[in-house]
Amino acid sequence: MSGPSPSMQALLTVAQAEGFALFACRDCGCSFYPPQSFCPACLSPHVDAQPDSGEATVLSTTRIHRSLDPALAPTMPLYVCSVKSAAGPSLFALADRPWPAATAVRLRVRDGLIHVDRPAP
């Protein structure tokens, strides 16, 4: 397996259409990330990608200078944020600047990747 898992593909599809999405459990309501085919809280298989506000708080930003993939060298340096979504899970997301910790942001999916889009209004 080298591309996104079926669960991640489902998340990206819904997020692309709705702005953002997270996997959540239809039985217990738990939101989680990375996506998987069952709920990590109650183990229910009734999980799917559900629209989400994308509201999140920045935990930290790193500026990556070296990638393991030589093809990515022209894109370096690259900002990646660690964020905690309002729904609970934490995620990694691309950013266009080094957002300070505690900044309120909104997550969006573009071209199959999660981006820190802009501060939430």
Neighbours of 63 (CB within 10 A): 12
CB nearer other proteins, residue 34 or residue 119: 34
Do the beta carbons of residue 56 and residue 50 sit within 8 Å? Answer: no
End-to-end CA, the chain: 39
> According to CB under 8 A, which one of 17, 28, 43, 64 is a site residue for other proteins?
64
74 counts as binding other proteins under rule CB under 8 A: no
Do the beta carbons of residue 61 and residue 80 sit within 8 Å? Answer: yes
Closest C-alpha among 111, 102, 43, 48 to residue 75? 111
Is beta strand 113-118 parallel, antiparallel or unpaired with respect to 104-110?
antiparallel
104 counts as binding other proteins under rule CB under 8 A: no
- Region near other proteins per CB under 8 A, out of 13-21, 43-51, 80-88: 80-88
Q: Mark 20-59 with x for binding to other proteins (rule: CB under 8 A) and - for no binding.
A: -------------xxxx----------------------x
Residues that bind other proteins (CB under 8 A): 1-5, 7-8, 33-36, 59-69, 72, 78, 80, 82, 84, 88-94, 101, 112-113
